[in-house]
Structure 1
Amino acid sequence: MGRKRAFPWRWRIAAFVALLLAVAGIYGWWQAQHWTPSREDYPTQGVLVSAQDGQVDFAGLAAIGADFVYLEASEGADGRDPMLSDNLRALEGGVLPYGAVHAYDPCVPAERQAANFVTIVPRDAAMLPPVIALDKLATDCSDPITEAAVESELTTFLNQVEGHAGQSAILKVSPAFEEHYAIASRIERNLWLESSFLEPDYGGRPFTLWTANPRLWTAVTQEPVHWVVVQE
């Protein structure tokens, strides 16, 4: 009788290795969906929410460790988050410290954007500093806008918003915006940077806030939230 071939064992080993890799991949995916930085490194942690997150249980967020919340409030000259009013009412009574975010549009004059923000965001000294999200590039505008004009208009916008808020704003700068305009070195404000799981360094100086996990699944939210930490 001939010898049995050992070839099938190779397939069994390969299948076992593939299974291990699949399990490791699923575990890694699960970990990424639920990962937050160490509290030893970042004692203060919070969330950024918008209408996309639906009805938010802020007391629940506080219970799972959120120390603050930022609300997306306005965009450009007339964009407004439809959940802002509901979220502001839900936060009355000191459930969590909170602040508001404006998505800046370099294609729109600063005065019109500032008017949009100050109209819907209350003048409240107890609020956290206003945040200006810088993501959209002027290269997307229908009319060309120089880099100098972008900086000038942004400075005008900041002056008006800060006058309303009574405190300096924070610049939430995307990697693409910083690469194009180097705004972190041109306008001296605290920085909010973005980088999934790894500390960002593209601002050229220390950040104050960091979006550490842009898709954190929690037990108290319908959709994944942006988990944000403070560098103290």
Structure 2
Amino acid sequence: MARTSRKWLWRVLALLLLVAIVAGAAAWWQLRGWTPDRARYPLQGVLWGMEDGPANWPALKANGAGFVYLEASSGSFARDGEINTQMERARAAGLAVGAVHRFDPCQPADPQAGNFATVVPRDAELLPPVIDLSKTQDACDQTISDAAVESELTTLLNQIETHTGKPAILKISSGAEEHFKLANRIERDLWLSRTWREPDYAGRPWTLWTANPYHAYEGGESTVRWVVARE
């Protein structure tokens, strides 16, 4: 009797596991094709970097993207040497273009600003620049205070704004915001991220929202990070 009960238990558990797998797969496929309601958010676009693979800019335009932000530089040294080529191709497809710098809290602002300026031209047609703060200083070789990180970030914002001639947007992850609490201390428009649901972790409205980091578009070889803009 006990052996029979165990068999039924294993069958039930196996069935529940199968249901969970099927439901997860269905949710995944739904997510790949999902974008926020265009009636609420008519202006939508993508975030693209070298690790995302080749981008089909005309196909993205045909799939409803109106703009693209390109990850141009990171820290003091890493950069996309093909950024200007990608800008030209995206513009040729009819997309507005902007550039993103990934801020490294372990490094000072001056060389990071220089890295950005090396690859991103002074161009009045570019969208406002974006500074991405996604990690903390926990992995730095030396101890760096939160106040020092905030000071360097502010310096970087000012230097990149001087280079581009436009106010920058602060792209901050939920983890970085939880650690630093900068959204209400640095007066810049915000770029937040959360899949499916609008993000609210900054305590004030967002300007840009990464809504789907796994969007598959018709004509593309890989997924892209789908972004919406609040008009």
CA distance in 1, matches of 2:97, 2:162: 18
Contact kept? 2:68, 2:90, Cα under 8 Å: no
Cα displacement string for residues 177-212 of structure 1 (whole angstroms, at most 9, x for unaligned residues):
101111101100000001011111001100001100
Aligned to 1:140: 139
On the 8 A contact 2:57/2:93 being kept in 1, the answer is no
Verify the 8 A CA contact 2:72 2:120 in the aligned structure 1.
Answer: yes
Deviation of 1:85 (Å): 3.2
The 3 A distance-change label for structure 1 pair 19 and 144 is closer
Structure 1 unaligned residues grouped into runs of 5+: 1-9
Where structure 2 has 5 or more consecutive residues not aligned to the other structure, the ranges are: 1-7
Q: Tell me, in whole angstroms, the C-alpha distance in 1 between the residues paired with 2:69 and 2:226.
A: 10
Q: Does 1:122 align with 2:118?
A: no
Q: Which is further off, 192-201 or 20-29?
A: 20-29
Deviation, structure 1 residue 92: 4.1
CA distances 1:84-138 after superposition (whole Å, capped 9, x unpaired): 2331231344620010000000111100000000111011011000000001211
The count of residues paired between Structure 1 and Structure 2 equals: 223
Report the secondary structure of 2:167's partner residue: coil
Letter of the structure 2 residue corresponding to residue 98 of structure 1? V
**Is the CA contact (8 Å cut-off) linking 1:53 and 1:221 kept in structure 2?**
no
Q: Which residue of 2 aligns with 1:34?
A: 33
The C-alpha deviation readout for 1:1-56, integer Å capped at 9, x for no partner, is xxxxxxxxx9xxx7998877655443222101211110011111100111123331
Q: Please, which moves more after superposition, 47-56 or 59-68?
A: 47-56
Letter in 1 for 2:108: P
RMSD (CA atoms): 2.2
Give the secondary structure class of the aligned counterpart of 1:185. Answer: coil
Q: What is the CA–CA distance in structure 1 between the aligned matches of 2:85 and 2:159, rounded to whole Å? A: 25
Letter in 2 for 1:168: P
Query: 1:73·1:100 contact (CA, 8 Å) conserved in 2?
Result: yes
The answer to whether residue 68 in structure 2 is matched with residue 57 in structure 1 is: no
Partner of 1:191: 190
The residue type equivalent to 1:110 in the other structure is: A
Amino acid at match of 2:200: D
CA distance in 2, matches of 1:92, 1:118: 20
Q: Which residue of 1 aligns with 2:152?
A: 153
Q: 1:16 to 1:176 in 2, by over 3 A?
A: closer
Q: Match for residue 213 of structure 2?
A: 214
Q: Which residue of 2 aligns with 1:78?
A: 77
* TM-score, scaled relative to structure 2: 0.89
16-25 or 86-95: bigger deviation = 16-25
Q: Which has the larger radius of gyration?
A: 1
Match of 2:4 in 1: none
Question: Secondary structure of the residue that 1:91 maps to in structure 2?
Answer: helix
Instruction: State yes or no: 1:113 paired with 2:106.
Output: no
What is the aligned partner in structure 2 of residue 229 from structure 1? 228
Equivalences for 1:169-208 in 2 at 5 Å? 169-208=168-207
For normalisation by structure 1, the TM-score amounts to: 0.88
What CA distance in whole angstroms lies between the structure 2 residues aligned with 1:140 and 1:24?
37
Tell whether the 8 Å contact from 1:53 to 1:222 is kept in structure 2 after alignment. Answer: no
